[in-house]
Amino acid sequence: MKTVTRTLLYPAVALLFVGALSSCDKNDSENSAPDKVENQHVRLLVADQASTAVTLITPAKKAQESFQSSFGGATLYPTGSGRFAAFVYGSQNAVEFFDSGLEAHGDHVHTKGTPKWALTKSAAIKPAHFSVQ
């Protein structure tokens, strides 16, 4: 049960990254009604602790997508921008990033592409600390 709770807690926190972002492109024409923004742009990222399976759940669309991470047992963190989730693999000395495809600006959200693995991956000797600003 502890593994299930941890598996669901960290991704839930990681996907609340549709919070604060830095700037808004004034030329974007996508506007959503304020009462629908929250419901339409909720995504839950779940990483399996025993395998490389990653599931992205979109409740508003009643849909889920499957992805494969490089390693199993990732610890998930939201990045400072709120758009990405960092997968930290402490025992494998690696970090990789997942792009949610959502960019929040406080009162509205922009869809920026589709959910996918970001191109940035990092490997080093024992990354022991991960911090976001």
Indicate the average pLDDT of the chain: 74
Residue 34, helix vs strand vs coil:
helix
The pair of structure tokens assigned to 126 is 């024992």
Q: What angle do CA 54, 101, 56 make, to 5 degrees?
A: 25
More confident residue, 127 or 55: 55
Q: What is the pTM of this model?
A: 0.65
Residues 13-42 pLDDT 10s: 444 443 433 345 555 555 544 555 457 778
Give the total residue count for the chain.
133
Q: How many CA atoms lie within 13 A of 20 on its CB side?
A: 3
Task: Show me where the domains of the chain are located.
Answer: 2-123
CA pair distance 91, 49, nearest whole angstrom: 13
Whose CA is closest to 77, among 6, 7, 131? 131
pLDDT confidence of 119, banded at 50, 70, 90?
confident
pLDDT over 90 percentage in the chain: 20
